[in-house]
Structure 1
Amino acid sequence: MQESTWFIIAIVLYLGVMLGIGLWSYRKTDGYEDFSLGNRGLPPFVAALSAGASDMSGWLLMGLPGALFVVGLAEAWIAIGLTIGAWANWKWVAPRLRSYSEIAGNSITIPSFFENRLKDKSHALRIVAAVIIIFFFTFYVASGMVSGGRYFEATFEGNYMTGMLIVAGVTILYTFFGGFLAVSYTDVVQGMLMFFALIIVPTMAIISLDNPMDIFSFPLDNAYGPHPDGNPTFFNLIAGVSFAAIVGNLAWGLGYFGQPHVIVRFLALRSPKDARMGRFWGISWMVLSMIGAVFVAMAATAFFAQNPDITITDQENFETIFLDMTRILFHPLLAGIILTAVLAAIMSTMSSQMLVVSSSLIEDLYRIFARKAPSERALLLLSRFAVLGVAILALLMSINPNDSILGLVAFAWAGFGSAFGPLVLTSLYWKRLTTAGALAGMITGAVVSTVWNLTGLGDVIYEMVPGFLSALVALVVVSLMTKEPEEAVRIEFDKARRLSNAASVDEDVDFHTEAQRIGTAEA
């Protein structure tokens, strides 16, 4: 049986499981809130792996190993920054956001939380936030489409467009029908696949080497990939890397505070106390997966050099080294199963992002401008077709990709981190925040990060740094220059803080009962 036939069998089995989860979720999805947020019933393990899988995308198995392979461990600063940022996000944002969203009008999207938090009757906050989400997520979803096309190029030596359409089609189907539950539970399967693949592939690659210990010295003075004379600084975290580059790479961690597809999982937790176990599972998965990605790159330097007859498919960004090694190392059926981990990474991120955009289009734009309140059935139907619309737009952008996967992700990540990161943190921890300050921060962060990227200044320092800092300054300055929030906003802030503290101190407290008691109590 041909190699491609085995791959097809493995992938068809995987795609069948994804569609099966989508069908199961469809039967569990009774209404609009179920579709958008799973009725706030997500267990911590599911929330953690869903957040991780939707966050990492094809970047973890393709973008990061490729960047490490080309540059060396200096690119690991991104992984270090992301790990620190993810831990901080679960520690300080998750429990407080879950509590505050319950108090603030039972918010089910990030834009609606901003509006309810500040009681913005003009809807300006909600509309601007929704527009930012739609703009940056279009690029983010496009990165997934590009990953899908390149996956099929490397795996089947097939057509980029065909691969992109297959990956997009299946992802759209289970997201379209199953909504948040389908996205979350497929993420669990996809997260486990990614985890095991990143452990197994580098381990087998190292074992296959003439001398497994070569991975710790080979790239220094031997030709490999883009380095005909070796890369003497491969293992040096700081040599050849400017201070600005290190700061920029670490700044990826700041982005976590503003990623809608990640923090929406916090809104879906059963209660704030689940954030502690979510942090344990999420960070454990993330650290081990990142280590696996580093070893993929290290092993690849010697593996491909010692096997000169094996060609790396992507000769520009080297983002296919994981795929190419897997094809060589394993029986085609097992290789096909492992390679589905890349599909898993791609699809988990795309589905989460399409769902967030769908929610923003319907919850944060359509419902505001609709002349009459739409029915539950209408909202559900519109949400599903919004998923389809976003996917089609991203597909059109991905037909002729002119950037790397990491480049597309970096642009969107910085945009969200800059626009929403400072606002999320100050919304949860600063009572003096005003609507004008929130708007100023969001717009400043989005504009600065975008302009910084388009003018090429991202080569000096990653746009997250100026974007996040300028947004924070604008937010604080404008808030202090404008009138204090109304009393109802300040009272609600205190209630949310008390609810979060109560859930953290006493893990046995009934969250919903406590939320109702505090929500109706006098300040």
Structure 2
Amino acid sequence: MSNDTYQLIAIILYMAAMLIIGYYAFRRTSNLTDYMLGGRSLGPAVTALSAGAADMSGWLLMGLPGAIYVNGLAGAWIAIGLTVGAYLNWLFVAPRLRVYTQVSNESITIPSFLENRLKDKSGLLRIVSGIIILLFFTFYVSSGMVAGGVFFESSFGLEYHTGLLIVSAVVLAYTLFGGFLAVSYTDFVQGLIMFLALILVPLFGIFMTGGFGETAASIREVNPNLLNMVSGVTVLGVLSSVAWGLGYFGQPHIIVRFMAITSVKETKHARRIGIGWMILSLVGAVATALVGIAYYQQNAGTKLVDPEAVFIALGQIIFHPFIAGIMLAAVLAAIMSTISSQLIVTSSALIEDLYKAIIKKDAPDKRYVFLGRMSVLLVAIVAAILAWGDHDTILKLVSFAWAGFGASFGPIILLSLYWRKITTTGALSGMVVGAITVIIWGNIKVLSDTLYEIVPGFILCLLVTYLVSLLTYKKNPIIEQEFTDTLEKLTRER
């Protein structure tokens, strides 16, 4: 058999496994809470790895190694910022959000939580939140589909659009039918595959390039500054990279996992598993890029055309074609896990936060589950259309969507969980200001090249929410009681 055949068999087996998991989850999905939140039944390991896999996307195995391959360790500041941000998210948001979403009318989405938490009677907060989710997630899902197209183009020489359609079809199948449980279980398996691949590729690659000393020497021959974290970077550049960590507090597809875990007590175990997985995976991604630099320096006759394909290229060089196929499946896992998570959250925004709020509030759960599935289909089609034409780098698409969520929702979530006086008007004002700041700043090249748009967006959202809330605050005994009940329940269940 040819190398491509071995690799294709591994990819087909992986995709079949994802569809089987999707079918299993479909059999366990009977109502809207099951479809959107898995019945709040996730254990710590599934919660941790599914959150990590949903978070990292194709960026972990393609975008980040590509950035390090081009810029050296100066590009690793993003990984540092993300690790710190993820840890703080698990520490400060996870336990309190798990409790508060139950205390506040069993909220199953972020927009519904904000509406219930602030007792917004107008429905405006929920609608605006849903629209922001739709806007930025469409770009986010599109970035995953771009990664899928690039993956098949780089790995098998398939036409970009063919690869895009294959990835989209498989993700759509298990997400549409299996809902949140399918997304979480497949993310768990995908997280394990990603982890193993990111350990094995650089580990075997180091031996291939002659050990640590030889590898470092080869990298220095290309450019001594590639091993220097501060070479060529500015203070604002480092701030922009580290500021990626701010985004965690407002990512609906990540923090929804906190709402679905079985209990508050399990968040501590999940945090340890999740952060351990994340640190080792990020180190593996950075090491993969460095090994790639050394390998292509030592083998001058070969050339890497696309820096974002360095992980794929090394996997094919180092391993037997079937094992290389499993390495390739890790890239697909990263891509598909994020697309599926974003599709299910976008579906929940369309049905739970827009359809229910604007059109119809009372209908059988089966109808809502059906509409949720149709929403997944609709968003996938729109995202595929966006990904069909000329595509930007994966990192650029992801960074825009990440900033949009971090600046729009991050300060609102933190203030909702920790400050009694936040108001509907304050939250709405801050949310809109954060989103608009990211859109304007991110589309003015001189501004976005100087400072990542999440920084001004997050700061302005926080300030506007705080100031407007102070001006519009009126004591509400129900809100006060729920805040107190949340603190008491949190203390009891820790």
- TM interval, short-chain normalised: over 0.9
Provide the residue aligned with 2:348 in structure 1.
359
CA distance in 1, matches of 2:187, 2:153: 24
Deviation at 1:189, TM superposition (A): 0.7
Alignment partner of 1:307 out of 296, 299, 309: 299
Deviation at 1:485, TM superposition (A): 4.1
Deviates more, 1:299-308 or 1:247-256: 299-308
Provide the residue aligned with 1:245 in structure 2.
237
Helix, strand or coil for the counterpart of 1:271?
A: coil
CA distance in 2, matches of 1:464, 1:186: 30
CA distance in 2, matches of 1:453, 1:249: 15
Provide the residue aligned with 1:512 in structure 2.
none
| Structure 2 residue 221 is matched with structure 1 residue 232 | no
* Identity across the alignment (%): 51
Deviation at 1:62, TM superposition (A): 0.4
Q: What does the per-residue CA deviation read over 1:329-380, in whole Å, with 9 as the maximum and x for residues that have no partner?
A: 1111110011100000000000000000000000001011224612111101
Helix, strand or coil for the counterpart of 1:72?
A: helix
Provide the residue aligned with 1:296 in structure 2.
288
Alignment partner of 1:462 out of 452, 458, 468: 452
Which structure 2 residues correspond to residues 195-234 of structure 1 after superposition, within 5 A? 195-210=195-210, 212-222=212-222, 231-234=223-226
Provide the residue aligned with 2:14 in structure 1.
14
| Structure 2 residue 466 is matched with structure 1 residue 476 | yes
CA distance in 1, matches of 2:360, 2:458: 37
CA distance in 1, matches of 2:94, 2:484: 17
Structure 1 counterpart of 2:419, which letter?
W
Provide the residue aligned with 1:193 in structure 2.
193
Provide the residue aligned with 1:447 in structure 2.
436
CA distance in 1, matches of 2:157, 2:391: 20
Q: Is residue 190–residue 344 contact of structure 1 (8 Å, CA) maintained in 2?
A: yes
Structure 2 counterpart of 1:421, which letter?
G
Deviation at 1:239, TM superposition (A): 2.3
Which structure 2 residues correspond to residues 26-175 of structure 1 after superposition, within 5 A? 26-175=26-175
| Structure 2 residue 368 is matched with structure 1 residue 394 | no
| Structure 2 residue 480 is matched with structure 1 residue 496 | no
Helix, strand or coil for the counterpart of 2:347?
A: helix
Helix, strand or coil for the counterpart of 2:227?
A: coil
Q: What does the per-residue CA deviation read over 1:183-204, in whole Å, with 9 as the maximum and x for residues that have no partner?
A: 0000111000000000101111
Structure 2 counterpart of 1:302, which letter?
A
Q: What does the per-residue CA deviation read over 1:134-157, in whole Å, with 9 as the maximum and x for residues that have no partner?
A: 000001001100000010011101
Alignment partner of 2:406 out of 411, 417, 425: 417
Provide the residue aligned with 2:267 in structure 1.
275
Deviation at 1:210, TM superposition (A): 4.1
Q: Is residue 313–residue 324 contact of structure 1 (8 Å, CA) maintained in 2?
A: no
Q: What does the per-residue CA deviation read over 1:276-312, in whole Å, with 9 as the maximum and x for residues that have no partner?
A: 0010000000000011011001101111122233332
| Structure 2 residue 249 is matched with structure 1 residue 257 | yes
Structure 2 counterpart of 1:333, which letter?
F
Q: What does the per-residue CA deviation read over 1:193-228, in whole Å, with 9 as the maximum and x for residues that have no partner?
A: 000000101111111124542222322332xxxxxx
How many residues are paired up? 493
CA distance in 1, matches of 2:90, 2:239: 22
CA distance in 2, matches of 1:209, 1:215: 6
Structure 1 counterpart of 2:313, which letter?
D
Helix, strand or coil for the counterpart of 2:308?
A: coil
Structure 2 counterpart of 1:273, which letter?
K
Helix, strand or coil for the counterpart of 2:278?
A: helix
Deviation at 1:441, TM superposition (A): 1.0
CA distance in 1, matches of 2:437, 2:444: 11
Deviation at 1:322, TM superposition (A): 0.4
Deviates more, 1:480-489 or 1:241-250: 480-489
Deviation at 1:401, TM superposition (A): 3.3
**What CA RMSD, in Å, does the superposition of the two structures yield over aligned residues?**
1.0
CA distance in 1, matches of 2:360, 2:107: 21
Deviates more, 1:284-293 or 1:300-309: 300-309
Q: 1:442 to 1:417 in 2, by over 3 A?
A: same
CA distance in 2, matches of 1:346, 1:269: 23
Helix, strand or coil for the counterpart of 1:308?
A: coil
Provide the residue aligned with 1:514 in structure 2.
none
Deviates more, 1:232-241 or 1:146-155: 232-241
Q: Is residue 148–residue 346 contact of structure 1 (8 Å, CA) maintained in 2?
A: yes
Deviation at 1:410, TM superposition (A): 0.3
Deviates more, 1:213-222 or 1:248-257: 213-222
Deviation at 1:438, TM superposition (A): 0.5
Q: Is residue 437–residue 456 contact of structure 2 (8 Å, CA) maintained in 1?
A: yes
CA distance in 2, matches of 1:324, 1:128: 43
Moved over 6 A (4+): none
Helix, strand or coil for the counterpart of 2:93?
A: helix
TM-score (norm 2): 0.98
| Runs (5+) with no aligned partner, structure 1 | 223-230, 505-523
Q: What does the per-residue CA deviation read over 1:436-479, in whole Å, with 9 as the maximum and x for residues that have no partner?
A: 11011111111101111001211001111101001000011101
Provide the residue aligned with 1:379 in structure 2.
368
Q: Is residue 434–residue 485 contact of structure 1 (8 Å, CA) maintained in 2?
A: no
Structure 2 counterpart of 1:272, which letter?
V
Helix, strand or coil for the counterpart of 2:225?
A: coil
Helix, strand or coil for the counterpart of 1:158?
A: coil
Structure 2 counterpart of 1:256, which letter?
Y
Structure 1 counterpart of 2:140, which letter?
Y
